Amino acid sequence: MEERETMGIMENVKEIADLAKKYNDGELNQKICDLEDQILALMTQVHSLEEASEESERTLSLIKKMQFKKPFYFQEDDPVPFCPRCWEKEKNPVHLIGPVKIAAGLRFGCPNCKEYFMIGGGGRDPAI
Ligand SMILES: [Zn+2]
């Protein structure tokens, strides 16, 4: 919901509340007060739904970009691999750090889940 629309609704309710005061009707005033609260609660809900929807869209567009090339995930035009654990568990795109050459092969590390991944070396499958 646009900020402008939200303001418009609240202004309308306030105007109605002011108009109703003329009638000096306690019940009517109370009803308008309740309505104001309900509208505020609804707008809060709409706002958080909008945020959740934006988050889903971001994740969805990431899912479309991520390509699995065993054992890692990559994005087009980005040579740095992403952590398969963070991506598969949390849909969290985290670039791996590395590779560091060690005796067993090449080691990549994830700065988020602290997992290490090995490629190449002594014939062992990547540790995922
Ligand atoms: Zn990770």
Indicate if the pLDDT at residue 91 is higher than 70: yes
What is the structure's pLDDT at 7? 84
Indicate if the pLDDT at residue 128 is higher than 90: no
What is the structure's pLDDT at 122? 52
| Percent residues over pLDDT 90 in the chain | 77
Question: pLDDT digits over 13-71, tens only?
Answer: 999 999 999 999 999 999 999 999 999 999 999 999 999 999 999 999 999 999 999 99
Residue position matching structure tokens 């005033």:
29
Mean pLDDT for the chain overall: 90
| Percent residues over pLDDT 70 in the chain | 94
114 CA distance to ligand 1 centroid (A)?
Answer: 6
56 CA distance to ligand 1 centroid (A)?
Answer: 20
58 CA distance to ligand 1 centroid (A)?
Answer: 19
106, with CB counted inside 10 A (0-12, 13-18, 19+), is: middle
Residue 32: CB atoms within 10 A of its CB come to: 19
128 CA distance to ligand 1 centroid (A)?
Answer: 11
Indicate if the pLDDT at residue 125 is higher than 60: no
Give the dihedral of Cα atoms 16, 18, 3, 50; nearest 10 deg: -60
18 CA distance to ligand 1 centroid (A)?
Answer: 57
What is the structure's pLDDT at 88? 95
What is the structure's pLDDT at 3? 79
What is the structure's pLDDT at 121? 61
> Cis bond leading into 71, ω under 30°?
yes
